[in-house]
Structures are given as C-alpha cells and as structure tokens.
Chains A and B, each alone.
Chain A
Amino acid sequence: MSEVRRLGVEGWVEAQLARSGSKPSPELEAKLQALPTLTMSMADLARDFPPKKQREQALLDGRELQRPALIVYDLSAAKVLRAVESPGQLEEVLVDFWFNHFNVSAEKGAARWMVTSYERDAIRPHVFGRFRDLLGATARHPAMLFYLDNWRSTRDGMPRLLRRDAQSAVANADMPGDEPDEEEDPRPGLNENYARELLELHTLGVDGGYTQQDVREVARCFTGWSIRRPRREPEFIFRRRAHDPDEKRVLGQRIASGGNLEDGEQVLDLLARHPATARHLATKLARRFVSDTPPPALVERVAKAFLDSDGDLRTVYRALFQSPEFWAHEARGAKVKTPFEFVVSALRATGAEVTVRPRLVQSLARMGEPLYRAPAPTGFPEVAAPWVNSGALVARLNFSLELVSGRLPGTRVALAQLATTPAARTAEDTVDALGHSLLGAPPSAETRATILAALSKRAEAASAEGEPGPVDVPLIAGLLLGSPEFQKQ
C-alpha cells in the first residue's frame, strides 16, 4: 500500500504494467530457491519424482526418490509466497488468471511433470505480451497437448503403427519400471478434445458462433501436434505422418492443403484476431477485475482495445484499469474473494511471516480451491456463487481463527504490532485499530458493536474465573478476518 501511496494509483498501475516492480526481494528469492522443483525441466522432474513403481525399484538400488505430489506442492507454495510477497502483484494476478483461462490439471497422468514448466515457460513470459503468443505457447506446450489429448490425435484413416511411430512407442515404453501403458500405443484417429476447448474456452467462447463441423475441421488442422517422449523428456513435436494434409474449412475460411504445421498456426491466427475472442476475453477480464456481471459498455471498450491493438495485452489491461467502471464506487467490494484471494489477503493484512507448510495448501482445498488441480478445462469458477457455501465458509472462519491464534503451521502473525497504537488500550480502541489495519477502513458500526459484544462475553467468562485479563486481540482479529466485510474484494 505504501508503494501505491508513493506512486499514486495510476502510476502504480503503469509501473506494474511496465513490470518494473517485479523483481523479488532477497527474502522471497531465498524462499523460492528452497523449492527446488520450480526451476527444473520436465525431463528432470520425470526422472527425479517418478511414479511409485520406479521409486521402489530405485530404493532397491539404494536411491531414494521423491513422490511426484511434491511438484504440485512446491508450485502451490510458490504461488502463495509470490502472491503474498512479490512486488509484481499484477503479474501474479495475471499469471493466476491466464493459467485458469488455459487450465490444465496436474491430476491427469503425466501432466503432473509438466505443469511447472507450463506456468513458468508458457504462461508467465506472455502475460504482458500479445495474446497470440500466449495462445501459441499454450497450444504447443506438452502440458496442454497431453491434458486435452491432442498429442494422440491423428488424421482419420491413418494406418496403425507406422514403423517409425512403432519404434518411438517402444522407446518410450521401455523406461525401467514403467507400467505397460495403453497411452503409449498410438492407435490412429481424430480426437476433438483440444479443438473444442480451444474454441469454446480459450478463444471464441461458447456463443462464439462456431459449429460442430468447425470443431472437427480445427481438430484436423491440429493433427500431428504431438509430444515426443511424454513420460521421459516431454517436448513438442510435429508428426507429419499423423497430419491430415487435405484442405480444411474453419469458420468459413479455407485452409489450403499441404500446410502441415502451419495449419494449426493459421487457425490460431484466425482465432486470436476474431471479434468473438475479443469479446470473450474482455468479458472474462472484466468479470475478474470488476464484477460478476460486468457492464456491457466496459466489455465493449476492452474488446475494442483488444482488436485495435491486435491483442496487445498491456493495451487491454490499460483499457480495463483506466475505465471509470474499474474505479467506480460500486466496484469496491463487489466481488466475493476466491479462497486463494481470501488466504493471501489475510496473510498480507496481518503482515504474517509466511514459510508455507502443507497445512496451508490443504486449507485452500477445503475452501474449494485445490491449486493446480481444477479438474475441468474450465478452471476454477470466476463468479462468487459456487464459492459461497456453508462448508467453504466454515473453512474460512477456521482459517481466520487458526491464523490469528498461531495455530496455522508455516505462518507467524505479530498482531500486537497491528493493534498497538498508544491509544489502543481499551477494547474499543483495539477494534478500531485492528479494523483499520485489516479491513483497510474502520469497521462498520454494526461490525464494531458485534465484536465488542463478543468481547464482553469473553471478559465476563474471564472475570468469572477471577482474572480480569487484557483485551483479547486474537479474537478481534479472527472475527475481523472471518467477517463478511473481509470476504469481499
């Protein structure tokens, strides 16, 4: 916040857009370095964090290898740490947004060795770049090719197991301890999964005006976009023999025969410039940053910025952040925080010292957001309704109470520093001081009265035991973090 005060709001947005603030502090750098998988390649991860059978085999050879689950844990820990401590706040929010937009789940088989690189190499470098580059990077990344099955999609009528493919299948399967895996048997044929989600989720949107025939034609264009050695050294490969060489027609546009790898690139070009894509992305961004039901005029303006700049994302964000709707009073507190936003904002507001332990990551799953494991290609919900339910709410209240009373492993909160102003002696003063530092504004009269009532009960109970006791600062802080006000963005 002091940073915002120094630069002014517009200046802060510009600085964030220029990415000048994104250099992590030495402390954050050290914490991230303690998570070794973040910088590892897919091949190294597959080798050092193999499935059970191979770990057992290695144990016999005297080497102890680690569970692949640790990869996702490292990623989740880093995500929390960066969100809490990185000066490049906008970058972190955007990485989260675009990962969710182009969701892949680490739960799906070999994808667990690929998500680290996917976020690091395909998403993060492009969040301030051009949409077309971001789209292209996801389309070619093994994580996406694997998650949406495109790596095994081939032209219809391809003879089964061409010699070279057969060899590569064998080369893949003979990895020591690898279970015989049907996935390694490249039985030929078209698979529509990626093509459909590309149109529906990544670009045009479900009302973007495409047909089932378009889905098939797009799938034909992407035949041959595959992965070399998906379980050993995953790498993009174009399998010419698997590619459908004939002419295609996508959204009324002819894709000439013989284009090979370029067929897919042409489709991406076409989609990245499509007005339906601009509207779809503008709607999603406005939903994320402004309201669950964004004003149509805002969506139109952001979509226009997208089309006019040929998908330059900085220009798009600027249009969004400079809009009056973004700064409107109604936009403040209009959205319910996602579990991740809630946890991060609680850690930031309390100035918690965070080292991140498994429990913290688990608590997010309890609130309904198991990081990197959103099962469906749609990612986690963007709107409030699915997040607001009793079970998840109780999980938030428990998190609040555990955090402030020092019962959450991997966090340390110094509440005294937040509440101790010279004036904060009485319960009233403490509620005001804490309210100010946690909610960013004095609590409403109602909240204040409610918390004071709860405190007086506690004081009664304490005095009945013969100890008048000081003001219960953790209780105040817990109630504030769990309060309805703190659940809003």
Chain B
Amino acid sequence: MSSLLSRRHLLRSLGVSGAGLVLAPGFLGRALAASANVPARRALVTVFLRGGVDGLSLVPPVEDAAYHRARPSLALKSPGSGPDAALKLDGRFGLHPKLEPLLPLWREGRLAVLHGVGLPEPVRSHFDAQDFVESGTPGRKSTPDGWLNRALEDEETSAALRAVALQPTLPRALFGSSGALAMGRLEEFRLRGGRRGEEAASGFSALYAGAVDEALRTTGQGAFEALSRLDEERLSRLAPASTVEYPKGPLGQRLRDIARLLRGDVGVEVAATEMGGWDTHAAQGAAAGVFANRCQELAGALSAFAADLGPKLEQVTVVVLTEFGRTVRENGSRGTDHGVGSAMLVLGGGVRGGKVYGRFDSLAPEHLQDGRDVPSWTDVRAPLAEALRACRPGVDLAKVFPGFTPPPPLGLFAA
C-alpha cells in the first residue's frame, strides 16, 4: 500500500496531473485479463426500494377478481379500460401506468418481472427484513457482512471502486472485507483543500494509511485510491449522453452517477443505490397519488439509465428489489400494511425479458399466507444468485448465500 503515497498518485488524486488519466496498474492488469480468457463479466447494479413495495400495484394481477375485491380504492383497472388503466404485460398481469417509460424495455425483451418473491419466512419489521435481504442470511442477525460484498470475494484485489454505493451511507449489502465506497453524489467526492490541497491530501493519505482503527484505515485508503481514479478531468468527460434526461429527484441523480462510472470504465463491478418512500400505509393512491409518483420517478430514472448506457447496457444487469410486499387487502387509511411476497424487476444485459416469472396464485383468501399476504413462493436469494451467476461466472454462491441451496434456475437470464 506504500504506492498509495507516491507523489504521482497524490498529484492525480488532486486532478493536477497534466497527463490526464493514468490507469492504476491493478486495473490495467484486470482489464487485460478480461480481454483474454477470463469469461466476460457484467456489472451488477442493485436498486433497493426501501419501505416495502406493494408488488400488487407495481405489477397488478388485473384479471383476478379477488384483487379488485380486496382493494376497492387501490386496484388498478384492466388494460384498455381508460387512461388510468394498467398497461398490458401479458394476459394476466398489467404494469402500473406510471411505469410506462419501462414498456419499451419490456417489449425489447430486456426487462423481466419476478412476482411472489420475498424472504422465506415472513418478517414484518422494515429493519429486520432489509437486514435479512441485505445480509443474504435470512433469520440470522449475527452475519457481519452483506451478500453483495461477499460476491466480490472471488477475486483477491484491493482495487478501489469495485463496489460503489451512490447514497450517503454504505448499505448493509456492501458491508464486508472487499472495500466498498459510498458517496451521496459523484461531484461531492473530491478533496477541497484550496491552496493547501496537495499537502492536505498527502497528509491525510499518510495519516489514514497509518490509522490504528482498521475500519478507518481501509476506508481512508479506499477513499484516496478512488479519488485518484476519479479526478475531475476524467469525470468531466463522462457527462450523460446529451439526449438523455433523468427525472428530478435523488434516484435519477444517483443512477446518472452510476452510469457515468460505468461508461468511464473505472473498474466498477457492483453498484448499489436506493430509493425511499414505498411504505404506503396511508393514502397510497392507484393510478395517481403517492405510490404513482414513486413509480414515475423510478421508471423515469431506470429508462434514462438504460438510454444513457446505450449499447453498454449489455454489460450491465440491474436488479430492483425491496424488503417485503404489502397486505392484499387495503387498510382503513386507503393504504396497505407490511406483507410478505412482492415483485422484483430485472433489466439489462443477459436478461430474458418480456415475461413475468415466478409462482403466483389467485388472491382469493384461501390462497393467501395467513389469510392476508401474497406468499413468497420464490426466496429472494434465488434470483440474486441467478443474477450473480450470470454476471460473474464461477462465483462461489455457497459463500455468498451460506446455507442456501438455490432451486432450479428460474431462467431469468440467458445461459
């Protein structure tokens, strides 16, 4: 790690190197290896929708009479029955009308839906359910690290920027030994030392290299290595494609930044971000309202992301997930309470899209879990394992999801 302290490195970390980008040797080596005989990898991007998404509004089973009975004010109308109706996916399911920007991806076969997915046992606390999804070990709270970080253990490298979170705090899924980096926005991620910049950077870099606290030491080293890779000059060349417009709001900003990193080939292997506001206990709305607004932001951001990446989307897989679904019956406040099974969206390279996957029965009360919830017929780890296998051939799934035996593949990804 002493190379971290080299003068050239520090100059780069300040963006003052006149020579433009100098690839770090480790990354160069990996890039070469990838072009030779190592199987091609895709970057995996996760978007965690926090609060427990109502899968029944995201991808409503519009032809099921029980759905309409259970949700007098929240059910979406069948496709073709007016401007507020759900959009047609197949003979059984519709798509929330505000997710319309995703329809082209669906038609091109690059977007798939998995329904009835969740934790193996019902967990109705946000905190616990998110914890279990992100640790990848449902029911076990003592797991110190997260599934997405363990997925990177298949390679011995300390390169920065392998794992990036575009959100102010590091998500649980990225806790672990493969250093991960979190930032609220890409632009904020630089040292502003003014005229003392160079000395401050060299001083801090050395202080953190020698920190006694291990977490601070590794975080500091990761930060300085990442700073050097993301010098301003390089970032300025990574503006989004001019025709792409991301929606206002944090998710658009974050996906825009992730797209910049991916297009810049700075070595990102997994990226995570999140979006809140899905805990719709009250006044959830149907085609318009709180839930619909969230859908609009989500779909706008995802479709802009896909357009921004262009052909590069083939080398990227996006998984949109949540901690649990919501009750089938609407509650007294025109909202829904914490449930079990929800829906997951998968899009990008390798996805066999245009299809709703997973077991999903009628919503008649006798088919519900505890008489109130969509069961989680598919363990959330199954599609995550499948995505990892598709993105990182040879990944050791027994390490990523200890104690979990993946069921036969759902077929979400082309072999």
Contacts and interface: CB of A to CB of B under 8 A. Distances in A.
A428 interface: no
Contacts of B126: 376-378
Contact of A192 (B193, B204, B226, B338): B338
A182 B334 contact: yes
A389 B170 contact: yes
B204 A206 contact: no
A479 B200 CA distance: 7
A421 to B, nearest CB: 23
Contact of A394 (B50, B191, B196, B210): B191
Interface stretch (A131-139, A275-283, A453-461): A453-461
Given A191-B337, A336-B215, A386 B169 contact: yes
Given A192-B337, A389-B165, A182 B192 contact: no
A194 to B, nearest CB: 10
Contacts of A390: 181-183, 189, 219-220, 222-223, 226
Contacts of A453: 202-203, 206
Nearest to A192: B337
Interface stretch (B36-44, B281-289, B295-303): B281-289
Contact of B184 (A201, A366, A375, A457): A366
B163 to A, nearest CB: 11
A206 B129 CA distance: 11
Nearest to B211: A484
B182 A153 contact: no
Interface in A444-462: 446-447, 450-451, 453-455, 457-458, 461
A355 interface: no
A149 interface: yes
B32 interface: no
B213 interface: yes
Nearest to A443: B207
A484 B127 contact: no
Interface string A424-453: 000000000000000000000011001101
Interface string A450-489: 1101110110010000000000101100110011100110
Interface string B319-337: 0000000000001111101
Contacts of A358: none
A424 to B, nearest CB: 19
A482 B204 contact: yes
Contacts, number: 197
Contacts of B73: 187
A453 B198 CA distance: 12
A377 B126 CA distance: 9
Contacts of B193: 401, 478
Nearest to B73: A187
Contacts of B334: 182, 185, 187
A381 B169 contact: yes
B83 to A, nearest CB: 19
Contacts of B276: 375
A391 B189 contact: yes
Contacts of B285: 182
B184 A391 contact: yes
B246 to A, nearest CB: 20
B297 to A, nearest CB: 15
Contact of A389 (B181, B217, B335): B181
Contacts of B190: 394
Interface in B152-206: 165, 168-170, 175, 180-184, 188-194, 196, 198-200, 202-204, 206
Contacts of B125: 196, 200, 206
A215 B372 CA distance: 15
Contacts of B207: 447, 450-451, 479, 482-484
B19 interface: no
Contact of A478 (B196, B198, B282, B332): B196
Contacts of A482: 200, 204, 207
A474 B331 CA distance: 59
A391 B183 contact: yes
B263 interface: no
A215 B327 CA distance: 15
B415 interface: no
Contacts of A265: none
B100 interface: no
Contact of B127 (A206, A393, A455): A206
Nearest to B127: A378
Nearest to A402: B192
A488 B214 CA distance: 12
Given A192-B338, A450-B206, A389 B333 contact: no
Interface string A56-94: 000000000000000000000000000000000000000
A397 interface: yes
B71 interface: no
A487 B169 CA distance: 16
A454 B199 contact: yes
B203 A451 contact: yes
A457 to B, nearest CB: 5
Given A183-B283, A366-B188, A457-B198, A394 B169 contact: no
Given A187-B332, A488-B213, A393 B128 contact: no
A488 to B, nearest CB: 7
A384 interface: yes
Given A196-B338, A454-B200, A189 B219 contact: no
Contacts of B203: 450-451, 453-454, 475, 479
A196 B191 CA distance: 43
A455 to B, nearest CB: 7
| 5 shortest interchain CB distances as A-B pairs | A189-B332, A391-B183, A454-B203, A484-B211, A390-B223
Given A365-B184, A488-B213, 8 more contacts: A189-B333, A193-B337, A390-B223, A397-B204, A450-B206, A474-B196, A484-B212, A484-B213
23 contacts: A149-B282, A182-B289, A185-B334, A187-B73, A187-B333, A188-B332, A189-B331, A189-B333, A191-B282, A368-B168, A375-B50, A375-B276, A388-B215, A390-B181, A390-B182, A391-B184, A391-B188, A393-B216, A407-B194, A454-B206, A461-B199, A472-B196, A483-B207
Interface of B: 50, 73, 122, 124-128, 165, 168-170, 175, 180-184, 188-194, 196, 198-200, 202-204, 206-208, 210-213, 215-217, 219-220, 222-223, 226-227, 276, 281-283, 285, 289, 331-335, 337-338, 370
